[in-house]
């Protein structure tokens, strides 16, 4: 089982946007959620996938062919 299968749909979407280098404020606008909520989803992604930062999120997504 892949680690990202533990993520909610919204957490997964935020993870993909972060992995593409989209800023939290842009994610907030695109998803119509507050920046604080984006931050909360980012923290959950980092915790659930046992990662430390956005670079590791990007690496994880590339390794698992979630983004190009």
Query: Residues 21-51: pLDDT tens digits?
Result: 999 999 999 999 999 999 999 999 999 999 9
Give pLDDT, residue 1: 77
Write down the pLDDT at residue 48.
Answer: 97
| Six-digit token string for 3 | 């680690």
CB of 41 closer than 8 Å to CB of 14: yes
pLDDT band at 68 (very low <50, low <70, confident <90, very high): confident
Chain segment 14-27, per-residue pLDDT in tens: 999 999 999 999 99
């Amino acid at each position: 089982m892949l680690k990202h299968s533990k993520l909610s749909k919204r957490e997964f979407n935020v993870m993909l946007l972060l992995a593409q280098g989209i800023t939290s404020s842009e994610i907030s606008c695109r998803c119509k959620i507050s920046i604080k909520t984006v931050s909360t989803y980012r923290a959950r992604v980092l915790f659930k996938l046992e990662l430390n930062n956005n670079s590791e999120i990007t690496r994880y997504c590339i390794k698992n062919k979630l983004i190009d």
